[in-house]
Amino acid sequence: METSIYSAIAKLESSGGAGALCTVIWTQGSTPRGAGSKMLLYPDGGFIGTVGGGALENRVIQEALEAIKDGKPRKLSYKMNDPELGDPGVCGGQLEVFVEPIVPNPLLLVIGGGHVGKAVVHLAKWLGFRVAASDDRPEFCTPEILPEADEFYPVPMAELPEQLEITPWTSIVLTTRGADVDAEGMPALLASEASYIGVIGSRRRWATTVQSLREVGVSEEAIARVRSPIGLELNAETPEEIAVSIMAEIIMLRGGGDGEQMSG
């Protein structure tokens, strides 16, 4: 039995998946499909339904893939007259397609259950993130220690990509106990699709970590993905203030902000 688009969307939302719903919202003249036709596209290019097939559908798919990445809806307009003029067909009509991205709630993976890690978990949950907590010391990764976390991964850092799905909607915050722990576990994280990877500590600590990463063959491009020292400069001192600094940076980058004072 063929899966309906609506049940597929419900499954996406319940599983925290991503996709884009493409709907023909207006037509005039002869077009491959009528208004109301729908297609659900997945990030890997797979889809359910159709908005017309052929060159038209290929163009919609490319726009929908971009919508999944940037999270922004778009209205697409096409004429179907002359391919030599760039039209995706010769039917003679016109149509508009609305592309609505379906993106999961952002996931924040906090590695390290110490004082700052606890504060980041608490604040991130209040901000609406789904929060995963991890520490290679099981006693620091429990519901009693981190009650606001949604998921717990008491495993070595290098094993995390095998334990949970790290996607472009995942931010990773390392509030670990030392550069040696970071250097051992980070190569696996740097190979993931996480949109943000930040490491707590001084510039000197990060320099030590970078040297260790280079020694095991991690590329400069991968290392450049990391933000360390982590957070915005707030002169933060307490774990709670440091958590505000970290989450402010993540929110700024997600929303395309610049961190400047708005009062200017």
- Residues 10-48 have pLDDT tens digits of 999 888 889 999 999 999 998 888 999 999 999 999 999
Q: What is the mean pLDDT of residues 173-180?
A: 94
Tally of CB atoms within 10 A around 257: 12
**Candidates 3.40.720.10, 3.10.20.30, 3.40.50.720, 3.30.1490.20; CATH matching 107-255:** 3.40.50.720
**Of 174, 183, 23, 201, which is closest to residue 108 (Cα–Cα)?**
174
Distance CA 161, CA 94 (A): 46
Task: Name the pTM for this structure.
Answer: 0.83
Please state, rounded to an integer, the average pLDDT across all residues of the chain: 93
pLDDT at 1: 45
CB within 8 Å of 159: residues ≥ 6 apart:
188
Residues 105, 21 contacting (CB under 8 angstroms) = no
pLDDT at 26: 94
Q: What is the mean pLDDT of residues 127-155?
A: 96
Structure tokens at 215: 């020694």
Domain range list for the chain? 5-102, 107-255
CB within 8 Å of 79: residues ≥ 6 apart:
87, 94
Percentage of the chain exceeding pLDDT 70: 98
Model confidence pLDDT, tens digit, residues 211-243: 999 999 999 999 999 999 999 999 999 999 999
